[in-house]
C-alpha cells in the first residue's frame, strides 16, 4: 500500500498551484449546490460554477464525480466536484464527507498533486476518506495502471492550529491502519497462510513497538488448544496463535481483542460449493482488523493496556482433517462435538477467547467473518454486534458514529438449547439453519468468563467487497471493523 502524503494549508484554494482541486457538491432540489468550503473556488471560477456543473449533468448525489477545466481565475488545472448527496440536517454528515472524499480520491489516481476543500465540512472525515479512497492493491498485477494520487493538500483556516494538526494525524493513522488490514486480506491464501501471516503480524507489531508472542503448533499442543489444532489438522500448513500487547501510559483499563484468522476456509470435510469459494481468502479479516488496530493503538499510544489474541489456521479437507462427529477438547477443558467442519471459526475463537480472558481484561472485543447468516440478516455493508447488552449497545453506537454502522443483535435464551450435544458439553452447530448468526453468538458466549463485558462483531458481509468500489471502499478487503474497534478503545480510554 502507498498512502498519499497529506498536508494542511491555509492558502486560499483559489491560489493553490495544483493539478486538481476538489470541491463538494450537495444534491439540491433544483440541481447541484456548492458545499461550504468551495466559496473561494467559486469566486475564482469564471462563471456560475453550480450552474456549469448542472449543465454538465452533475446532481450532487453520493459517489458522483465530475471533472472540468478549472479556467483562468484559478491556479489549478482541473476542478473535481464530488457528490455529498442530499443534506437533511444542518450540514453533510461525517460519513457523507468521508464517502465523497473517498470517491474523489479514487478519481484522482494518476494525479501527483491535488488539494481538497472538504476539510471545511469535517476535517478528520475528509482526511480519512482521502486516505481510504486512494488505496489500491496492485502487488500481483504486471500492468499496474495509474498510481494513487501522491500528495493532497487539505485547505483549513489555520494550518498551525493544534486541533487541526491532531485531526490530520488521527485521520491519517486510521487510514493507514485500515490500509494495513486491507493489504493482509487482499494477499492471496497461497502467500498468506498461518506461519506467513504470523510472521507479517509480528513484523508489523514489532515495528510499531508492541510486545509479540507467537505460539507454533508444538506450543499449541503442549498448552491444549484443541479448537485451533482440530480445525488446523487438515492443512499441511500448521496453525499459529499470535499474541500482541500494548501497555500505554497511565493504563487504567485492560481490553482484550480477538480476531478470526482462517487464512482460507474450504469448509473442510463439510466442503463448501466451488462457486465464490475464492472469497474465503478473506476469512482472516477479523484477525487483520485486530492486528491493524493494535498497530494504531501503539502509534497513537492509547492510555490503555490492550492485548490481541489471534488464532491462525487454514481449514482444509484431507486425510488428517477433523471430521463431523469428532469431539474436541478445547483450551480450558470444555468439550465440543463437531457436527459441521465448516463452522470452524467459533472453534478457534473459543480457544482464543478463553486464553484472552486469563489476563483478566475489563472488556473483550471479538470480531470475525463468522456466518453467512450475518449477510442474510443485514446485507453486505452492515456488521452485526452481539454480546453483553450494555457493552453491545455501546459498541453499536460508536460503530455508527464511526461510519461503519454495526447494528445490535440479540442472543435469545431459547436458542441456546439447540446447541446441546448428545456426546459432549456443546455442539458447534444447531440441528437447523434458523438464526445461524445468533447460534454462533451463543456458542461464543459459552466461552466468555462470568461477568466480563464482551462484544462479538460478525463482519462476514462488510469485511469484503466483491462488487464495484464505492465511496472510500475499494474492491476486496475493506478493513471493517478497524474504525469501530479504534473508536471503542478511544471511548474506553476516555470514559472507562
Active site residues: 272, 346
Cell matching residue 29: 432540489
Query: Cβ(130)–Cβ(4) under 8 Å?
Result: yes
Instruction: Note the Cα 57 to chain centre separation in Å.
Output: 34
**Where do contacts with ligand BES occur on this chain (CB under 6 A)?**
265, 283, 340, 342-345, 369-373, 375, 429, 436, 460
The contact pattern for Zn ion, residues 327-346, with x = CB under 5 A and - = no contact, is ------------------x-
Q: Which lies closer to ligand BES via its Cβ, residue 24 or residue 436? A: 436
What does 427 interact with, of Mn ion, Zn ion, ligand BES, none (CB < 5 to 8 A by kind)?
Answer: none
* Closest of 455, 262, 242, 450 to residue 358, by C-alpha: 450
Distance, in Å, from the CA atom of 248 to the CA atom of 256, rounded to the nearest integer, reads 14
Query: Cβ(304)–Cβ(297) under 8 Å?
Result: yes
Q: Which lies closer to Mn ion via its Cβ, residue 258 or residue 398? A: 258
Neighbours of 399 (CB within 10 A): 26
What is the DSSP code (8-state) at residue 222? H
What is the DSSP code (8-state) at residue 91? S
* Closest of 356, 345, 351 to residue 329, by C-alpha: 351
**Where do contacts with Mn ion occur on this chain (CB under 5 A)?**
265, 342, 344
Q: Which lies closer to ligand BES via its Cβ, residue 95 or residue 265? A: 265
Least spacing, CB of residue 440 vs Mn ion, in Å: 10
Q: Tell me whether strands 363-368 and 305-315 are parallel, antiparallel or unpaired.
A: unpaired
Least spacing, CB of residue 404 vs ligand BES, in Å: 16
Q: Which residue is nearest to ligand BES (CB)?
A: 372
User: Is residue 351 a contact point for Zn ion (CB under 5 A)?
Assistant: no
Q: Which lies closer to Zn ion via its Cβ, residue 38 or residue 369? A: 369
434, exposed or middle or buried, with CB in 10 Å at 0-12, 13-18, 19+?
Answer: exposed
Distance, in Å, from the CA atom of 364 to the CA atom of 305, rounded to the nearest integer, reads 12
Q: Which residue is nearest to Mn ion (CB)?
A: 342
Q: HSE-up of 336 (CA within 13 Å, CB side)?
A: 33
Q: Which lies closer to Mn ion via its Cβ, residue 342 or residue 366? A: 342
Among 153, 265, 305, 326, binds Zn ion (CB under 5 A): 265
Least spacing, CB of residue 76 vs Mn ion, in Å: 50
User: Is residue 314 a contact point for Zn ion (CB under 5 A)?
Assistant: no
What does 469 interact with, of Zn ion, Mn ion, ligand BES, none (CB < 5 to 8 A by kind)?
Answer: none
The footprint of Zn ion on this chain (CB under 5 A) covers a number of residues equal to 4
| Residues at the site binding Zn ion, with contacts judged by CB under 5 A | 262, 265, 283, 345
Amino acid at each position: 500500500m502507498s498512502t498519499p502524503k497529506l498536508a494542511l494549508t491555509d492558502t486560499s484554494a483559489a491560489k493553490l498551484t495544483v493539478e486538481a482541486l476538489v470541491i463538494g457538491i450537495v444534491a439540491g432540489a433544483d440541481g447541484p449546490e456548492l458545499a461550504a468550503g468551495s466559496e473561494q473556488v467559486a469566486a475564482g471560477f469564471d462563471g456560475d460554477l453550480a450552474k456549469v456543473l448542472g449543465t454538465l449533468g452533475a446532481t450532487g448525489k453520493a459517489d458522483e464525480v465530475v471533472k472540468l477545466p478549472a479556467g483562468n481565475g484559478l491556479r489549478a488545472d482541473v476542478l473535481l466536484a464530488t457528490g455529498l448527496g442530499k443534506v437533511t440536517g444542518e450540514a453533510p454528515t461525517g460519513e457523507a464527507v468521508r464517502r465523497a472524499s473517498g470517491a474523489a480520491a479514487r478519481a484522482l489516481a494518476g494525479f501527483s498533486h491535488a488539494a481538497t476543500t472538504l476539510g471545511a465540512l469535517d476535517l478528520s472525515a475528509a482526511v480519512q476518506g482521502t486516505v481510504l479512497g486512494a488505496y489500491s492493491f496492485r502487488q500481483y498485477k504486471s500492468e499496474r495502471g495509474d498510481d494513487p494520487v501522491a500528495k493532497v493538500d487539505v485547505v483549513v483556516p489555520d494550518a498551525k492550529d493544534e486541533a487541526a494538526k491532531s485531526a490530520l494525524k488521527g485521520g491519517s493513522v486510521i487510514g493507514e491502519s485500515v490500509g494495513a488490514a486491507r493489504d493482509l486480506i487482499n494477499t492471496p491464501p497461497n502467500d498468506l497462510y498461518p506461519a506467513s501471516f504470523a510472521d507479517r503480524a509480528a513484523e508489523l507489531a514489532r515495528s510499531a513497538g508492541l510486545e509479540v508472542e507467537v505460539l507454533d503448533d508444538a506450543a499449541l499442543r503442549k498448552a491444549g488448544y484443541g479448537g485451533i489444532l482440530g480445525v488446523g489438522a487438515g492443512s499441511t500448513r500448521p496453525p499459529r496463535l499470535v499474541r500482541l500487547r500494548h501497555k500505554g501510559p497511565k493504563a487504567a483499563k485492560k481490553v482484550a481483542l480477538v480476531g478470526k484468522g482462517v487464512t482460507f476456509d474450504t469448509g473442510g470435510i463439510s466442503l463448501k460449493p466451488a462457486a465464490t469459494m475464492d472469497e474465503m481468502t478473506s476469512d482472516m479479516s477479523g484477525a487483520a482488523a485486530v492486528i491493524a488496530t493494535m498497530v494504531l493503538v501503539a502509534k497513537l499510544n492509547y492510555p490503555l493496556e490492550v492485548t490481541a489474541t489471534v488464532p491462525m489456521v487454514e481449514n482444509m479437507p484431507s486425510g488428517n482433517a477433523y471430521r463431523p462427529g469428532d469431539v474436541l477438547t478445547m483450551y480450558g477443558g470444555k468439550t465440543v462435538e463437531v457436527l459441521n467442519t465448516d463452522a470452524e471459526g467459533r472453534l478457534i475463537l473459543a480457544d482464543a477467547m478463553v486464553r484472552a480472558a486469563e489476563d483478566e481484561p475489563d472488556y473483550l472485543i471479538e470480531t470475525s467473518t463468522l456466518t453467512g447468516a450475518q449477510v442474510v440478516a443485514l446485507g453486505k455493508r452492515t456488521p452485526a454486534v452481539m454480546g453483553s447488552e450494555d457493552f453491545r449497545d455501546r459498541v453499536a453506537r460508536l460503530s455508527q458514529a464511526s461510519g461503519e454502522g454495526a447494528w445490535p443483535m440479540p442472543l435469545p435464551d431459547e436458542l441456546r438449547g439447540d446447541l446441546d450435544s448428545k456426546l459432549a458439553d456443546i455442539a458447534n452447530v444447531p440441528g437447523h439453519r434458523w438464526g445461524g448468526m445468533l447460534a454462533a453468538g451463543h456458542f461464543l458466549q459459552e466461552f466468555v468468563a462470568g461477568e466480563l463485558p464482551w462484544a462479538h462483531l460478525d463482519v462476514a458481509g462488510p469485511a469484503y467487497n466483491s462488487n464495484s468500489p464505492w465511496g472510500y471502499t475499494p474492491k476486496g478487503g475493506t478493513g471493517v471493523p478497524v474504525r469501530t474497534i479504534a473508536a471503542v478503545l478511544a471511548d474506553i480510554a476516555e470514559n472507562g
